[in-house]
Chains A and B, each alone.
Chain A
Amino acid sequence: MSALAVVRPRPAAGPDVGAPSARSPRAAAPAATGRVRLAVAVSVLALGAGALFGAVALNASAAQAAVTARRLEGEVRAAERHHADLLVDVAELEDPARIRARALELGMIPAPAARHLVLRRAIAADGAPDPVLPGVADPLKPVLTQER
């Protein structure tokens, strides 16, 4: 409903219009009604304007949020892209062929023949004491066998 429809034209004044001081209580009622109607009209106008402003503000806020979301999505994509690139870089750096080539460049040489040392401990792998080697102070300390 438009505001124009609310504000009706004031009714024509009677013969006593020229004597406002003599306005009777009966004549004050239409004036009060008019003020109420004016207030209602202003309120409706204000409400409409507020709703309009709110809608525009909400829309602008949504657009701003959408722009922010797009920017964040772009940042996520860029971060994922960076992560993928780093993954490739790490894999390239870890490549055994590259490490070997780099080691040879640095003057390192392949080990001639690996040797293996089997350390005999005072306790077996399952924690049971070894009856062959009693009296060892530190049961976790590696003990060289007689062959060594």
Chain B
Amino acid sequence: MRGPRRRGASTPPPPPAVVVPVRRIRSAFAVVLVLIGLTVAQLVQVQVVDGAEHAARGERQRLRTVELPAVRGRIYDREGAVLATSVDAAAVHADPAAFRPTTRPDGTRVPAAGDRREVARALAPLLDLDPVALADRLDRDGRFVYLARQVDLATAEAVMDLRLPGIGMHVEPRRAYPSGGTAAQVVGFTGIDGAGLQGLEASHDHVLRGRSGTLLVEHAPGGLAIASGERELVPAEPGADLVLTLDREIQHVAERVAADVSARYDALGATVVVLEVGTGDVLGMASAPTFDPNARRTGDAAAWRNRAVTDLFEPGSTQKALTVAVALESGAVTPATAFDVPDRLTVGGHTFTDVSRHGVERWTVGDVLARSSNVGTILVAERIGEEALREGLLALGQARPTGLGFPGEVAGHLPAADAWWATTLPTVAIGYGTSTTLLGLATSYATLANDGVRVTPRLVRGTVGLDGRLEPAPPAAAERVLSARTAGVVLELLGAAVDGPGATGGLAAVPGYRVGGKTGTARKPLVDAAGYSDQYVASFVGVAPLDDPRLVVAVMVDAPQGAYYGGAVAAPAFAEVMHASLLARRIVPDGSGRSLDELVRSAAAAPAPTAP
């Protein structure tokens, strides 16, 4: 604020001359401009020229894509019992670089985070591993090595509680088979990475495995996920569940009986097949010896084989029912046609004999089948000729794939038409010189039981997707190969082969039910030479209830010791499996005319059973 100038005051001295350092200011300004220019240039370089690269690098540092493994579908039996499922397990891994000193790019030396031998000693008891082998594994090159796969989560958590340097874990699925060895050869197993390797796990891997998803998360330098960061989830699609035609109860009985008969006769193995007539559903398919897929590494890999579809054998006398069926269908014989049957017959320079010596007997076709006469069956087959027999057997499924589609299934063998010699017809007629699987044989008998209509056997009823509904498998293919009349006649003859006079299959009888079936006893061919060994295959194939067949059971015992006749070895096993299967399927009895009083009296007279 300026006041009025006072009169007489002295004139203030002039302000000192201000020297503006224009040059310096300009120089400083220029420097600042240059700095700003450099900054802008660097910004352009970073943001524009290399912008995409830097952005990508930043994303790589912040964002991490985690693969979400799909949950593998379960495998159920026909009633919904779990045969295979997946549970969470853990993989314990290590970073071997943590156990050796490293040098940073700037030359700084970083000491090892821990001593691998100490770490190995701490881990070994928890992971049940050798500490020396573990220490060697921690000494490998690279940044990642598995120490243990598919261990229990509790074990993995105990490992993490040790807070060892360089040791980590992650969750991974593990296949579990809660019923142990039940249907092990049918269900199969997966590898450590969850891919099906054997059985239905392999053949239906595309159905069971599902599709894995991804989770994109943003994480901090320390590795922790940023809660409010970017997060993009592509959920995994779980695999569909597989519902089998197997009945767990029947499967269990079939496996138990196969194991029992194999052990009782010190056999190389035993196989049992249970088929449902009409649908072709395989209710049971058991092989002994078997294995536990939960611990398959400790067993013999030969036990993984599903012998019912992979092993061929000469059917022996069980073939005779098929020969008779072809003969009846061709019209060459009737059930009442009688033959003069000696106990030996020479054809093409080879003599065929019956098992028991007898004179020339006048036997009908039914008698021939009931007594399992080799000579009688050859006489029947000679009535129809080579071509008709071969075509008829092919139509019944011999030497053809059953259509089951099981991995490793073989088709069997029947000599080609131009390879039949003079002895081929009699040989094939009685079940030699041809081979089949037990399932193939059971399917042929199921054709007889199904009024002559051959139904393709199946193991899978359907799949269950995310909606929880059963998507049924396509119905099995059906094809008529015999007239219903022929099939009915053969069934009656099979009934007589169990309960008729002189029948060889008496031990196959099932209380309360009428049973029809045929015994089989065949020498095993030599492996490395022509001819036959002194070992046998004992078998029995039958149907029940005979008036309205619902089930077919086939039993094959490989090289039993001591007894070896099908009627003595396989028939009782058949009866036990068939009886249990009929009860399990709630099939009403059709036989057993004994009254309640008789039953009560016989029960009172019988000694009290004791525990085995």
Q: How far is the CA of A55 from the CA of B323 in the complex (A)?
A: 89
Tell me, yes or no, whether B345 is within 8 Å of chain A by CB.
no
Q: How far is the CA of A109 from the CA of B607 in the complex (A)?
A: 14
Partner of A112, one of B86, B176, B583, B609: B609
Q: Give the interface residue-count category, chain B.
A: 35 or more
Chain A residues positioned under 8 Å from B153 (CB to CB): 81
B85 contacts A87, C-beta separation under 8 Å: yes
Chain A residues positioned under 8 Å from B86 (CB to CB): 84
Tell me, yes or no, whether A131 is within 8 Å of chain B by CB.
no
Chain A residues positioned under 8 Å from B501 (CB to CB): none
B228 contacts A91, C-beta separation under 8 Å: no
Q: How far is the CA of A147 from the CA of B592 in the complex (A)?
A: 13
Q: How far is the CA of A146 from the CA of B178 in the complex (A)?
A: 50
Contact with B along A79-92 (1 / 0, CB 8 A): 00100110111111
> In the complex, what's the smallest C-beta–C-beta distance from A57 to chain B, in angstroms?
13
> In the complex, what's the smallest C-beta–C-beta distance from A141 to chain B, in angstroms?
17
B176 contacts A88, C-beta separation under 8 Å: yes
Closest to A67 in B: B227
Closest to A69 in B: B227
Tell me, yes or no, whether B14 is within 8 Å of chain A by CB.
no
Tell me, yes or no, whether B88 is within 8 Å of chain A by CB.
yes
Tell me, yes or no, whether A63 is within 8 Å of chain B by CB.
yes
Tell me, yes or no, whether B597 is within 8 Å of chain A by CB.
yes
| A interface SS class | helix
> In the complex, what's the smallest C-beta–C-beta distance from B68 to chain A, in angstroms?
11
A115 contacts B178, C-beta separation under 8 Å: no
B182 contacts A95, C-beta separation under 8 Å: yes
Q: How far is the CA of A87 from the CA of B588 in the complex (A)?
A: 33
The segment from B4-12, B248-256, B396-404, B523-531 that touches chain A is B248-256
B178 contacts A88, C-beta separation under 8 Å: yes
> In the complex, what's the smallest C-beta–C-beta distance from B362 to chain A, in angstroms?
37
Tell me, yes or no, whether A102 is within 8 Å of chain B by CB.
no
A67, A84, A116 interface centre (most CB from chain B within 10 Å): A116
Chain B residues positioned under 8 Å from A63 (CB to CB): 227-228
> In the complex, what's the smallest C-beta–C-beta distance from A77 to chain B, in angstroms?
8
> In the complex, what's the smallest C-beta–C-beta distance from A90 to chain B, in angstroms?
8
Report B230-254 residues with CB < 8 Å from chain A CB: 231, 248-249, 252-253
Q: How far is the CA of A118 from the CA of B589 in the complex (A)?
A: 9
Contact A96-B512, Cβ < 8 Å, known A70-B227, A91-B85, A91-B179:
no
Q: How far is the CA of A22 from the CA of B32 in the complex (A)?
A: 53
Contact A91-B227, Cβ < 8 Å, known A81-B87, A85-B87, A148-B595:
no
Partner of B179, one of A85, A95, A112: A95
B87 contacts A97, C-beta separation under 8 Å: no
Chain B residues positioned under 8 Å from A62 (CB to CB): 228
Q: How far is the CA of A147 from the CA of B589 in the complex (A)?
A: 17
Tell me, yes or no, whether A76 is within 8 Å of chain B by CB.
no
A148 contacts B596, C-beta separation under 8 Å: yes
Interface residues of A, count at CB 8 A: 35
A81 contacts B88, C-beta separation under 8 Å: yes
Closest to B178 in A: A91
Tell me, yes or no, whether B22 is within 8 Å of chain A by CB.
no
Chain B residues positioned under 8 Å from A110 (CB to CB): 612
A87 contacts B82, C-beta separation under 8 Å: yes
Chain A residues positioned under 8 Å from B351 (CB to CB): none
Tell me, yes or no, whether A3 is within 8 Å of chain B by CB.
no
Tell me, yes or no, whether A126 is within 8 Å of chain B by CB.
no
Tell me, yes or no, whether B336 is within 8 Å of chain A by CB.
no
> In the complex, what's the smallest C-beta–C-beta distance from B81 to chain A, in angstroms?
6
A115 contacts B227, C-beta separation under 8 Å: no
Tell me, yes or no, whether A94 is within 8 Å of chain B by CB.
yes
Chain A residues positioned under 8 Å from B252 (CB to CB): 95-97, 100
> In the complex, what's the smallest C-beta–C-beta distance from A17 to chain B, in angstroms?
10
Contact A96-B248, Cβ < 8 Å, known A104-B612, A114-B511, A115-B599:
yes
9 A-B pairs closest in CB distance: A91-B178, A96-B252, A66-B227, A91-B82, A63-B228, A148-B596, A116-B589, A92-B178, A147-B595
User: What residues make up the interface of A, taking CB atoms closer than 8 Å to B?
Assistant: 59, 62-64, 66-67, 70, 81, 84-85, 87-92, 94-97, 100, 104, 107-110, 112-118, 147-148
Give 20 A-B pairs besides A66-B228, A89-B178, A115-B599 with Cβ atoms closer than 8 angstroms: A63-B228, A64-B227, A66-B231, A81-B88, A81-B153, A88-B87, A91-B81, A91-B82, A92-B179, A94-B81, A96-B248, A96-B249, A97-B179, A97-B256, A100-B252, A108-B611, A110-B612, A114-B579, A115-B592, A147-B595
26 pairs, A vs B, C-beta closer than 8 Å: A66-B227, A70-B225, A84-B85, A84-B87, A87-B178, A88-B178, A91-B81, A91-B82, A95-B178, A95-B179, A96-B182, A96-B252, A97-B256, A104-B612, A108-B611, A109-B610, A109-B612, A112-B606, A113-B511, A115-B592, A115-B603, A116-B589, A118-B588, A118-B589, A147-B596, A148-B596
